[in-house]
Chain A
Amino acid sequence: MNLFEQFALGLQSLWFTLRECGRPRLWAPFLVPFVVQCAGIGLLALTAHPLLSWLLAPIVVRLAGPDALHYPGLFVHLPGLALTADLLVVSTLGALASGAATRLFASVFEGRSPSLREAWSETARRAWPLLVAQLPVTLLLVGIGFALDAFGQARVSSITRAMLPAVQMVLGTLVQALFAYVPALVMLGRLGPLLAWRRVPAMWGRGLLPALVIFVVALLVLLPMQLLARQSGAVVARGLPELTMALTALLFASSMVASWLVSGAATLVWMSALSGHVRETR
């Protein structure tokens, strides 16, 4: 496949995935982490309550400083705190949800009726490989965040510092695109984590450009809410602190939409152009 064909494949897989957006079952796996994320926002907003403060207050102070224990200071830090807590959700429930969604999308694209029960039971069987195989992506994303933070705190120009979020976004997108087919390799290719990682570079020849197209489109879905969530300080200053909870929930909702899109499109690319290649090289 030449580059144009790969590009077209990425766009077409997105289009075919979008056409399936009316099927509630395809959304079901992602609702689980979303509900947990929303519950997390609620719990963070109640950090000061005696039922939670013994556990959450020290963590919140550690992550965001003593101001985060004050009203409305907590709401300025809420999106950041929620995103930090989300790393745990994404690396566990998120990984499992993407596995189940891959199975469901595969059924749909094969022309069969998707069975939620089957998808979940298969995900449960392959839970450990799924979790372990997707762990490097989370670790790499966290590592990039820490490295760029450390770089930003060093003596760099203000222009460089202003560009760091954009750099983080580009690097994050690239890393996710590199590992885009891991859920498909585990769930559809039935590979263990080690074998899946070994196959990942082999995917890049035909699959990296479609994956990049998919992730750039997903980023476009996510970006407006990410930019809005960064304005939590302004929202609080305008006297609407609790609105940052809704903003954070919307950010997670857009993240759910992006994950759904990526899962469906990556599954379709894998089924169209990569599954045979895996079988050949097995």
Chain B
Amino acid sequence: MKASRVLVVLAAGVLAAGCGDEQLWQRWQAERSLEEARRAADRVLVQPTIARDADWDRADRLFAQVTERWPVSRWVSVPGKYGADIARVSGVAAVSRARLAALRGNDERTLLAWRAAVREVAPLPRLSAEAAQGELRLLERTGRFEEQLDVLRRLGEDIPLRDPAAGWLTDVLQAPLRWARELRARGRAEEGEPVLRRAVALVRAALEGERAPGPAPLLDALSEYAAARGDFTGSMAALRARLAGARDNDERRAVALTLATRALDLGQADSALACARWAESLGGRTVGRAQLRRAEAWEQLGQPDSALDAYSEVTDRPRDPENLASIARFQRGLLFERLGRWEAARAEWRTLQAMNPAGELSFLSMQKIVQHHLDRGEVELAQYEARRAIADLEQLLTMNADPNVQRQARLVRAEMLAGTGASRQAVEAFLDLWDRFPGDSVAEAAGLRAARMARFQPGLGVRADSLLERLATRAVSTEIRRAAAADRTPGR
């Protein structure tokens, strides 16, 4: 009798055991495998320089095992409480694997890993955006600027704006702006317009399903898209809606600051001044930016003394994590130049170059100084300033390996040489830039410039033709290919 009771209890236990959630166990195992892979990666990353290849391979293999055993594509569509969680764990493993490859230092392998991660996590918006950002960073670091455009296109077009768990994805919302900006930088601004138009339509469609005035990230993006398209009135309308939904002073001061910028773009200096003062009165970390907007508003209102005072407030700030002093100095230099106070303007720009030699505004200020003398026909002074700037750039090129700095510094050096009549050296400098960044449209434009200059140099005609031939057939940028084809000597 007792034995039969025990059997009944056992049978009930076994039946009940069937009620356990298999997916919960799968999630547990996936998380445990991911944790094991992370531990292996952590061990490598404690001392990456002395880690053995076997250690790197083991960590990589462990991440790969997670993605292979629990593929995102399968688990994301499995009905049940934990299917989505398992897909996310697998996606995290795929992204972590690419990150590990990035830390290992082989760029080609890293690129392949990021691309594999992008494919793997495609059904998961947040991780897709993360993987695309990883790929973008690598392409930017290695100077493959043309391929960046393709990734930005994918980021802006293929990934949903919202992740079910993480909410609105800022990276995805920002992608069309970055894409349009990159296209504009390559002289292809007209290609950016449809990108932004499509982005606006997407955001408007997303806003329709939301309660008025709409989620902040969408309104911010809408405002920025409109501004990038030159529709400042539309941008301000979006910002006013954003202000209505602002929850705290942090949000209010950010919106007030953007409103000031848009008002300046629209030429409404009084509104800009009011908004900038309001943003300043709210305090916080944006005070410096608000002071800059105030200075710009005073400039628009024709009050240079007030503008100079406002710029001084920016440069005199004891802490300047955003390096706003560089902007203030550059703009104060421009204002001094307009006021005819050339010595003061040059002093501002020289200070800027000394304080932030690799900054974009430093390069621009070098060119401004040379251009000032050229505009006045002071060729000797221009040549003196150009020689001085080129020496500074040479020093920078030996000390800073950042591809962006290298590209910009080489471009400015070539421009300086071309501007001061050193045409042969300028041709070599432009070609050097193209050689170092093949496939980049800015560098290809430098190559075209070199070819065009070489045509008018004695003894360089043949070389110019061969350069144009190369550009016409092999340039990545369509515009450059077309321009080079048009410039080729007829009959060759």
The residues of A with any CB-CB pair to B shorter than 8 Å are 48-55, 57, 69-72, 239, 241
B31 and A71 within 8 A (CB): yes
Q: Please pick, from A50, A69, A71, the residue contacting B22 in the complex, using a CB distance under 8 A.
A: A50
B20 and A239 within 8 A (CB): no
Contacts of A57 in B (CB 8 A): 21, 24
Nearest-CB distance from A280 to chain B (Å)? Answer: 47
Q: Please pick, from A69, A72, A239, the residue contacting B24 in the complex, using a CB distance under 8 A.
A: A69
Contacts of A72 in B (CB 8 A): 31-32, 35
Beyond known contacts A48-B28, A54-B16: 15 more, CB 8 A cutoff: A49-B25, A49-B28, A50-B17, A50-B20, A50-B22, A51-B20, A53-B20, A54-B19, A54-B20, A54-B21, A57-B21, A70-B31, A71-B28, A71-B35, A72-B35
A239 and B28 within 8 A (CB): no
Contacts of B17 in A (CB 8 A): 50-52, 54
Contacts of A70 in B (CB 8 A): 27-28, 31
Nearest-CB distance from B192 to chain A (Å)? Answer: 44
Judge if B309 is at the interface, Cβ distance under 8 Å.
Answer: no
18 contacts between A and B (CB under 8 A): A48-B25, A48-B28, A49-B20, A50-B17, A50-B21, A50-B24, A51-B20, A52-B20, A53-B21, A54-B17, A54-B19, A69-B24, A70-B31, A71-B28, A72-B35, A239-B35, A239-B39, A239-B42
| Closest chain B residue, CB of each to CB of A52 | B20
Nearest-CB distance from B27 to chain A (Å)? Answer: 7
B25 and A53 within 8 A (CB): yes
How many of B's residues come within 8 Å of A, CB to CB?
17
A48 and B42 within 8 A (CB): no
Contacts of B28 in A (CB 8 A): 48-49, 69-71
B33-68 interface mask toward A, CB cutoff 8 Å, 1 = contact, 0 = none? 001001100100000000000000000000000000
Nearest-CB distance from A14 to chain B (Å)? Answer: 44
Contacts of A54 in B (CB 8 A): 16-17, 19-21
B27 and A48 within 8 A (CB): yes
Bound complex: CA A52 to CA B13 (Å):
10
Nearest-CB distance from A151 to chain B (Å)? Answer: 33
B25 and A50 within 8 A (CB): yes
Contacts of A48 in B (CB 8 A): 24-25, 27-28
Bound complex: CA A48 to CA B24 (Å):
6
A55 and B25 within 8 A (CB): no
Contacts of B27 in A (CB 8 A): 48, 70
| Closest chain A residue, CB of each to CB of B82 | A69
Contacts of A71 in B (CB 8 A): 28, 31-32, 35
Bound complex: CA A59 to CA B24 (Å):
15
| Closest chain B residue, CB of each to CB of A236 | B35
Nearest-CB distance from A239 to chain B (Å)? Answer: 5
| Closest chain A residue, CB of each to CB of B22 | A50
Bound complex: CA A48 to CA B18 (Å):
13
Contacts of A53 in B (CB 8 A): 20-21, 24-25
Bound complex: CA A216 to CA B410 (Å):
77
Nearest-CB distance from B323 to chain A (Å)? Answer: 36
Nearest-CB distance from B216 to chain A (Å)? Answer: 28
Bound complex: CA A239 to CA B35 (Å):
8
Of all A-B residue pairs in the complex, the 9 with the closest CB atoms, nearest first, are A50-B20, A48-B28, A71-B31, A54-B19, A53-B20, A51-B17, A71-B32, A239-B39, A54-B20
Bound complex: CA A48 to CA B25 (Å):
5
Nearest-CB distance from B291 to chain A (Å)? Answer: 39
Contacts of B16 in A (CB 8 A): 54-55
Bound complex: CA A241 to CA B28 (Å):
13
- Interfacial residues of chain B within 2-34, with CB under 8 A of chain A in the complex: 16-22, 24-25, 27-28, 31-32
Bound complex: CA A55 to CA B19 (Å):
9
A241 and B35 within 8 A (CB): yes
Bound complex: CA A122 to CA B287 (Å):
82
Nearest-CB distance from B270 to chain A (Å)? Answer: 49
Bound complex: CA A48 to CA B20 (Å):
8
Bound complex: CA A55 to CA B39 (Å):
31
Bound complex: CA A48 to CA B26 (Å):
9
Count chain B CB atoms within 10 A of each CB in A48, A51, A57, A72 and give the residue with the most: A48
